[in-house]
Amino acid sequence: MRIAVCIKQVPNTTEIKIDPVTNTLKRDGVPSIMNPDDKAALESALVLKDKYNAEVVVVTMGPPQAELILREAMSMGADEAFLVTDRAFAGSDTWATSTILAAALKKVGYDIIIGGRQAIDGDTAQVGPQIAEHLDIPQVTYVVEIDIDEKNNVCRVKKEFEDRYQIVEVKGKALFTVLSGMNEPRYMLVGGIVDQEEKAITVITVNDIEVDRGNIGLLGSPTKVKSSFSKTVDSNKELIELSPQEAAKVIADKLAEKHII
Amino acid sequence: MSKVYKYDLFNQMIEEFALREVKPIAEEVDEEERFPTETVAKMSKIGLMGTIVPKQYGGMGGDYQMYVKAVAELSKHCGTTGVILSAHMSLCVAPILDFGTEEQKMRYLPRMSTGEWIGAFGLTEPNAGTDASNQQTIAVEHDDHWVINGSKIFITNAGYAEVYVIVAVTAREGRKVEMTTFLMEASMPGFTIGKKEKKMGIRGSSTCELIFKDVIVPKENMLGKRGEGFKIAMKTLDGGRIGIAAQALGLAEGALNETVSYVKERKQFGRPIAQLQNTQFTLADMSVRVEASRLLVERAMNAKQNKDRALSVYAAEAKLFASETASYVTSKAVQLHGGYGYTREYPVERMMRDAKITEIYEGTSEVQKMVISGALLKK
């Protein structure tokens, strides 16, 4: 069983800077971490490695410095790492990113793919499901438990809803997106940190994958960000303490007064 | 040569570990004088106890840079946790690595690397402190074993350790004493743990007396050659002083961080005390000493890593300066916290109590001055 885990390097700060020209996030000079949902995805894969001796490979798309989270993943126990990087990929939206990653994952090879639900920088939750669509494989999102039955080629997963869980069985290749609350990711191991230094990372560029160049990068991205801005704190606040029923009426009246409803 | 990632990754890992596993229980460990076995188990799980041990002996194949960072980072939040690792590694794992036979390394290092066996070191006796040559513990040679009688005091990790590097007298001729080092195990018949000390600081660390009554130690447990005991003990302490200097550095850094946060919050005369010049100048004095300590610790660490002959002096200088810095910085931290700093509501009073020991154990500040000036005057 070969498990491919999609991970992303994200800025570890709430002060995200935005490029005024492209309206996309500026990542240089901002401290970076492995996206928390993705770290949970990696942990869930490593648990399957511990249990069934599954092979865990990590894949990230990003600038060259994203190598750091691949090396972090190997220090935690991932077997192999792939860095999908090329200037031609820059400025990709979720459609272009999932197009590239799907093509890269075909090259990497997988039985199942696990990714985080969403990244803390964009919060779109689109890339995972889109990859599954590009690869034409089943997907289950918002997963909090994964178990595999290799003999019957089946994965049994627990999907979280707001008020209930659903147990889903998937046959064959599949993609799951997981939530960061599902587990407590392990620490990097001292031995793993020492060993990763000897391991090479496979770089995948635009020439290594089969993609239509018109579907990737900034120009291949149908999404155009109109404008981005930081929220300003409105000091014009009014504190009213009421029971829920009374409060609902007051809020409705206020919204009507401002012609919002 | 591509970029080296291992130190960045190690730093990230140990900072996260200390923050999540060590900091939350530091106050409780001090208050209850409790050896943090659960933390040691977690440290073992990630491979910390075997950081510097080569892979062929079951270790992680890391180095002194990682180990020193680990001691400092743990000590930033809890001096007790820092010294548990330091005593295990510098005073027991390191001498086995440096002076042990292949058989001794194969017997001890794999289990010490996984944390199954914790290490300790015994030189000090009631009448042999700084005057370490006045040893009363005696080892008598028999056909295939030694019989050891005597006692040791103030032994860090005692009771929780399985492996002890012990110095004993093997011959005495007038005022001339021959000392030899042995590897003793807690399970050897006649080896018992005596009184546990109640201490001012590092209160979760176990500090006890060791009592040896007709303990039979196999010949193959002699560490190094007969008569090399004093030399091995002194070389072991050179390394140990780097660990304690790292502990002192961590304590000072931790207290400085706490203080920087506090002075920005605490308001007097209508503004945060961080805006007062006294606060600013004191912080600057604290910070410069911390950074100078860091450089001295790094120099000593590199000397140990590269087997530099200047290690002894560098380690003494690092320990002298870093431990005095720890006392200075933690005391200033309490002062800047004012009345609150004196209470156990804030961690700085604990840090101040923990800091004092770094000026005393593994050679007092005065011993470090003897080492430093001795080398100067020999020139």
Chain B contact for A8, CB < 8 A?
Answer: no
Q: Any idea what DSSP says for residue A32?
A: E
Choose among A75, A189, A190: nearest Cβ to B66.
A190
Mean per-residue pLDDT over chain B, rounded: 97
Q: Of the candidates B291, B300, B292, B356, which has an alpha carbon nearest to the alpha carbon of residue B90?
A: B300
Q: Which residue of A has its CA nearest to B45?
A: A189
User: Are the beta carbons of A188 and B46 separated by less than 8 Å?
Assistant: yes
Question: Is the distance from CB of A221 to CB of B47 less than 8 angstroms?
Answer: no
Residue B136 has pLDDT above 80, yes or no: yes
Q: Residue B94's closest CA among B129, B130, B120? A: B120
pLDDT at site A16: 63
Q: Answer whether residue B289 shows pLDDT above 60.
A: yes
Contact A72 B12 (CB under 8 A): yes
pLDDT digits (tens, 9 = 90+) for A230-247: 666 666 777 788 888 888
Question: Rounded mean pLDDT of B267-275?
Answer: 96
* Residue range A134-175, pLDDT digits in tens: 999 999 999 999 999 989 999 999 999 999 999 999 999 999
Active site residue B362: yes
- Is a pLDDT exceeding 50 seen at residue B50? yes
The CA distance from A245 to the nearest CA of chain B, in Å, is 39
Are A197 and B5 in contact (CB < 8 Å)? yes
Question: Residue A230: its pLDDT value, please?
Answer: 67
- Residues paired with residue B179 on neighbouring β-strands, in sequence order: B169
In chain A, what percentage of residues exceed pLDDT 90?
73
The H or E element that residue B12 is part of is helix B6-17
Minimal Cβ distance to B17: which of A187, A192, A196: A187
- Contact flag A188-B6 (C-beta cutoff 8 Å): no
Two structure tokens written together for B161: 């350790």
Q: What is the pLDDT of residue A208?
A: 97
Burial label for A107, CB within 10 Å (0-12, 13-18, 19+), is middle
The candidate with the shortest Cα–Cα distance to B289, out of B247, B256, B264, is: B256
Q: What torsion do the CA atoms of B117, B118, B124, B129 make, to the nearest 10 degrees? A: 160
Q: What is the mean pLDDT of chain A?
A: 91
Compute the average pLDDT of residues B355-378: 97
pLDDT reading at A182 higher than 50: yes
Q: Rounded CA gap, A3 and A155, in Å? A: 12
- Which stretches within B53-125 are classed as H helix? 64-77, 79-88, 94-99, 102-113
First to last CA, chain B: 40
Length reported for chain A:
261
Best mutation target, B20, B43, B46, to test chain A (most A CBs within 10 A): B46
Cβ pair A230, B96 in contact under 8 A: no
Q: Per-residue pLDDT for B242 more than 90?
A: yes
Categorize the per-residue pLDDT at A86 as very low, low, confident or very high, splitting at 50, 70 and 90: very high
More confident residue, A22 or B7: B7
Q: Residue B251 pLDDT more than 70?
A: yes
Topology of domain A2-215, per CATH?
Answer: Rossmann fold (3.40.50)
- Write down the pLDDT at residue A120: 87
Per-residue pLDDT for A31 more than 60? Answer: yes
Q: Are strands A139-149 and A202-204 parallel, antiparallel or unpaired?
A: unpaired
Give CA separation, B19 vs A18, A212, B73, B213, B254, in Å: 31, 47, 9, 43, 11
Q: Look at residue B198 and give its three-state secondary structure.
A: coil
A224 confidence band (pLDDT: 50, 70, 90) = confident
DSSP helix/strand/coil, B349: helix
Q: Mean pLDDT, to the nearest integer, of B330-350?
A: 97
Nearest C-alpha neighbor of A93 from the set A223, A228, A227? A223
* Cβ of residue A39 closer than 8 Å to a chain B Cβ: no
CA angle at B295 for the pair B1 and B74, rounded to the nearest 5°:
90
* Predicted ipTM of the assembly: 0.94
B302-329: average pLDDT? 96
Q: What pLDDT was estimated at residue B1?
A: 40
